[in-house]
Amino acid sequence: MSDPSPKNPAEDTESEPRPGRARKPIGWSTIFIAVLVAVSAALVWRRDGTDGVLDILTHDLSLFSGILPRVLAGCLLGAFISEILPHEKVSRSLGPKSGLMGLLIGTAFGAILPGGPFTVYPVGSALLAVGADFGAVIAMVVSWTLIGYGRAVAWEIPIMGTDFTLWRILISLPLPVLAGALGRFVYVRLYRKLPTKDDET
Amino acid sequence: MSAALFIDILLWGSVIGVGLIAFRRGRPVFVASLREGAMDFVNIVPRIALGVIGSGYIAAIIPQEVITGWLGPDSGWLGVTAAVVAGAATPGGPVIGFSIGAVALKSGGGVPQVVAYVVAWALFAFQRVILWEIPFMPARFVWFRCAVSVPFPFLAAAIAAVIGKP
């Protein structure tokens, strides 16, 4: 809040073209999964016959139709967030120089972000595009996966029990910040793109 | 399931919230981000379809017992390492991951090993990384994130060993 810059953030978001999130063509990872799925389906067919294949197909199709609206929500959330967050503010509070505070903000953000993988990855990608650094986004992604409430409430508590889940989350509390700090530490030494005069982070 | 409904409400509530903020910045901003989000969606759906519809087959051919076997009462760091590998190699969604953890816990698996398994699954489950993380994020970020995360299942297991059972 102590920003002396006279820049008008509204004008900033209007005039600046969004750094592109390049859309990837079908890459090797998709091909890898396609082959894996084809081989697995063939093995299931040999073991259980056509009925076995169709059983799994109908189950997964219903799963997919349930997930689809959430994927849309995640994409919209990512697009809106990258549009409304002013770049300078994001790079100040989540950028390479944001220090421990940036990692804590990333962690908190990951912990409260609603939804699943269909939310966290589009939002993380949007934050990277508007000036967050790898460290802060690593903290966010790791925090979502380890201490986010969404998966814990929906899956872990029913299956693993409340005691184990809360205890496991307690153990995981420091990990996102540590992962983000390690990420930053390695990133600076690996890519050497940043001036390192105040790299006490 | 009410938890799922709760999460859906939060999710769409957030979308509406940020959408309203974008709308107040002006119609062009709103329309542009709406189009951007829709394009992302259209581009991502084939990959998600492949993964979600295919994951049932992958899960069906890797029997859970194989992975549970790796989480046996075999204590020590070798067991933790096996648990980390098992977590990364577990196919399918959270039901499978947590069920394996629960079975291991009930059938006498060591607590640090089960913690290492659950944390490794959360961090590295290959199917989620390939199906969700890589399509949405820059690939360079994803590999970097995974590499940097490697020590943490071990750290979690160490903390679990120190502070004891739940």
Tokens standing for residue A132: 């967050």
Calpha distance A95→A118 (Å, rounded): 23
Q: Out of A77, A124, A146, whose CB is closest to B14?
A: A77
Nearest by Cα to A21 from A69, A83, A71: A83
Distance from CA of B91 to the nearest CA of A (A): 11
Burial of A196 (0-12, 13-18, 19+ CB in 10 A): exposed
- Among chain B residues, the shortest Cα distance to A46 is held by B61
Instruction: Tell me the nearest-neighbour CA distance from A179 into chain B, angstroms.
Output: 6
Q: CB B148 to CB A183 under 8 A?
A: yes
Summarize pLDDT for A36-66 with one digit per residue, the tens: 889 999 999 999 999 989 998 998 898 888 8
The residue whose two tokens read 């990872």 is: A29
- Residue recorded with tokens 């300078």: A88
Indicate the domain borders of chain A: 75-191
Q: Name A84's Cβ contacts closer than 8 Å, sequence gap at least 6.
A: A13, B18, B21, B22, B25, B29, B33
Q: What is the mean pLDDT of residues A6-12?
A: 39
- Do B18 and A153 count as a contact with CB atoms less than 8 A apart? no
Cβ–Cβ of A84/B136 closer than 8 Å? Answer: no
Three-class secondary structure assignment of chain A: CCCCCCCCHHHHHHHCCCCCCCCCCCCHHHHHHHHHHHHHHHHHHHHHHHHHHHHHHHHHHHHHHHHHHHHHHHHHHHHHHHHHCCHHHHHHHHCCCCHHHHHHHHHHHHHHCCCCHHHHHHHHHHHHHCCCCHHHHHHHHHHHHHHCHHHHHHHHHHHHCHHHHHHHHHHHCCHHHHHHHHHHHHHHHHHCCCCCCCCCC
ipTM: 0.85
> What is the band of A143 on the pLDDT scale with cuts at 50, 70, 90?
very high
On the question of pLDDT at A128 being above 90, the answer is yes
Question: What's the CA angle centered on A110, arms A136 and A177, to 5 degrees?
Answer: 45
Which pLDDT score, from 0 to 100, does residue A25 have? 55
Q: How many CB atoms lie within 10 A of CB B3?
A: 15
| Axis crossing angle, helix A134-147 with helix A117-129, rounded to the nearest 10 | 170
The tens digit of pLDDT for each residue in B96-120 reads 888 888 888 887 778 899 999 999 9
pLDDT of B8 strictly over 50:
yes
Sign of the Cα pseudo-torsion (A122, A123, A127, A130, in order): positive
Q: In A, residues 69-128, which contact B (CB 8 Å cutoff)? A: 70-84, 114-119, 121-122, 124-125, 128
Q: Domain locations in chain B?
A: 1-60, 62-166
- Whole-prediction pTM: 0.80
In this predicted structure, the answer to whether residue A18 has a pLDDT above a threshold of 50 is no
Which among A167, A180, A171 has a CA at the least distance from the CA of A105? A180
Half-sphere exposure of B13 (CA within 13 A, CB side): 9
> Is A40 in contact with B155 (Cβ distance < 8 A)?
no
Is A163 within 8 Å of B104 (Cβ atoms)?
no
On whether the CB atoms of residues A70 and A116 are closer than 8 A, the answer is yes
Cβ within 8 Å, pair A163-B166: yes
- Residue A15 confidence (pLDDT) above 50: no
- Residue A98 phi/psi, 5-degree rounding, is -80, -10
Which chain B positions have a beta carbon within 8 Å of A17's beta carbon?
none
Residues of B in contact with A164 (CB under 8 A): 105, 166
| B contacts of A14 (beta carbons < 8 Å) | 25-26, 28-29
